[in-house]
Copies of this chain bind each other. A is one copy, B any other.
């Protein structure tokens, strides 16, 4: 694979220009560019610049409203809604996070429901932004269907990630996982690379039986992580994002990868907790104690270190982007 190296500043500028050329407002383009480049820098290419051609295509035809201006709607002292206006999710999150932080500090806990939303990228990044302000955060968001309910054969639930972050000395602790074993994109990539097989445990065929054949897997469903438990967690995420937000189910949402159909109409829910008051002041010391337990045990390490290392390298050396992808991106200009 031929690649080209871009600094993070160059990458952000490129993404912004492409989105503006595809009928996205400058503010929304800049917000979306920050999110895609941050994902790329963290080694999360599946939520990075690879998304730009489909984002731009969707903005150009109005499947995503590039000029949407998110609006906060007050509901209760501890909760509010953000109408993302069928625009990109990132401007809605950037509006929600400071308001959520303010309310979490005054109320102790607060939640925001983002509706009429779109792909929200690396779930952990939104939690991390709150943890950098000293708050515990959860994000739940659904995604187009890929996984079957446990015992069924047809897809109904998405990769439905759970993300969590907590402030910790140095960098926040960030836990971010799909409730599937892998993203469907990984199976797609294996097929496109012409591979004969995928690892055991990734997928089921349309008959509900485990398969290692990528073609059979793409006709079937992605396996939940941990079997029945992962499928139950994905259902929990569906309740927290679609039902609790008033958004489309993964079973109803249009694709995030093409410009066909109406708006995906996805939903996301964010919770923030101020850890000082609820812990009686104990949180900071207890989380340091927990980090020390990990440091002191052979083989144990806190999740997220690989991501932080990738980020540091990207900040210093830039990101390497596949030349074919870059050519496709530049064709929008």
Residue ranges of A at the interface with B (Cβ–Cβ < 8 Å): 73, 75-79, 81, 106-111, 113, 115, 136, 148-154, 156, 162, 164, 166, 173, 175, 177, 181, 208, 225-230, 232-233, 235-236, 238-240, 242-246, 249, 251, 269, 271, 273-275, 277-283, 286-287, 289-290, 293-294, 297-303
How many monomers of this chain does the complex have? Answer: 2
Q: Which residues of B contact A289 (CB under 8 A)?
A: 249
Q: Which residues of B contact A290 (CB under 8 A)?
A: 238-239, 242-243, 249
Q: Which residues of B contact A111 (CB under 8 A)?
A: 108-109, 273, 278
* Selected A-B contacts with CB under 8 Å, 5 pairs: A113-B280, A150-B300, A152-B297, A225-B229, A246-B286
- Are A79 and B246 in contact, with the CB atoms below 8 A? no
Q: Which residues of B contact A233 (CB under 8 A)?
A: 162, 175, 177
Cβ of A106 to closest chain B Cβ, rounded Å: 7
- Are A151 and B300 in contact, with the CB atoms below 8 A? yes
- Which of B78, B173, B235, B299 sits near A108, CB closer than 8 Å? B78
- Are B244 and A283 in contact, with the CB atoms below 8 A? yes
Contact flag A303-B108 (CB < 8 Å), given A76-B277, A246-B282, A298-B153: no
> What 3 pairs across the A-B complex have the smallest Cβ distances?
A226-B226, A246-B282, A76-B108
- Which of B79, B136, B236 sits near A175, CB closer than 8 Å? B236
- Are A107 and B294 in contact, with the CB atoms below 8 A? no
Bound complex: CA A177 to CA B282 (Å): 27
Cβ of A142 to closest chain B Cβ, rounded Å: 11
Residue of B whose beta carbon sits closest to that of A287: B243
Residue of B whose beta carbon sits closest to that of A226: B226
